[in-house]
Amino acid sequence: MANVLVIAPHPDDEILGCGGTMRRMVLEGHRVTAAIVTRGTPLFPASQVRRVRAEAARAARAIGAGLVFMNLPVTTLHLMPEAKLNRRFAELVRRTAPDTVLLPFPGDRHEDHRQVFDAAMVGLRPDGRRRRVRRVACYETVSETHWSAPGVEPGFEPNWYVDITTTLEAKLSAMRLYASQLEESIPARSLEAIRALAVFRGSVVGAGAAEAFCILREVDGPTGE
């Protein structure tokens, strides 16, 4: 059994980016934990924050994953001292002891995604003093990953695909539990767009549906301590 840690800047990023992979890993007997980094207050009303956190809890239960709220400030991570922010992610990695970590892509449009990526990578430094993480990869998030400036910012070029043909419906069902975050029809955060991306990624590798990732680091061998 492996430990899988999915780091999501905001509630719903974990399902949008890798909900199908999370469900597949749970079904394969692995322990999956989603860490929601930011809390919506004071940017959003407390009632809305409570609603979204309840949606996150329901979605995690539907997938079969554990859930951790880091409660960091939304859209103001840049105001935190870097050492403090980096330390929070190092503590998360130490506490969850993951074999695989899935992160937001650094080219995403939202500043929180970029700052979470940077801090998490500091927390994941393979300095030999902690358990070795076997695989670190970035997932794509509909809207954020695909709104970068071509040729100016890094583009998402996947080199790892996970077949989610049998778990796509579980991903969509979990996303339906994020009713406050969904949009209808053409907008990027619609069930139609999420399904379309999964089908497209699957078509690239001859599968009915897939989620795509950029592997940043992969280590073969004993994990060590």
Confidence category of residue 132, pLDDT binned at 50, 70, 90: confident
Residue 225 included in any domain: no
Residue 224 included in any domain: no
Which is it for strands 31-39 and 3-8: parallel, antiparallel or unpaired?
Answer: parallel
Residue 172 included in any domain: yes
pLDDT of 59-72, one tens digit each? 999 999 999 999 99
pLDDT of 6-38, one tens digit each? 999 999 999 999 999 999 999 999 999 999 999
Residue 187 included in any domain: yes
Domain assignment of residue 91, given as a range: 3-218
Q: What local confidence, expressed as pLDDT, does residue 167 receive?
A: 98
Residue 223 included in any domain: no
Q: What local confidence, expressed as pLDDT, does residue 186 receive?
A: 73
Residue 208 included in any domain: yes
pLDDT of 224 over the 60 cut: no
pLDDT of 37-56, one tens digit each? 999 877 788 899 999 999 99
Q: To the nearest whole number, what is the mean pLDDT of the chain?
A: 93
Residue 182 included in any domain: yes
H, E, C per residue of the chain: CCEEEEEECCCCHHHHHHHHHHHHHHHCCCEEEEEEEEECCCCCCHHHHHHHHHHHHHHHHHHCCEEEEEEEECCCHHHCCHHHHHHHHHHHHHHHCCCEEEEECCCCCCHHHHHHHHHHHHHCCCCCCCCCCCEEEEECCCCCHHHCCCCCCCCCCCCEEEECCCCHHHHHHHHHCCHHHCECCCCCCEHHHHHHHHHHHHHHCCCCCEEEEEEEEECCCCCCC
Count: domains in the chain: 1
Residue 127 included in any domain: yes
CATH number where 202 lies? 3.40.50.10320
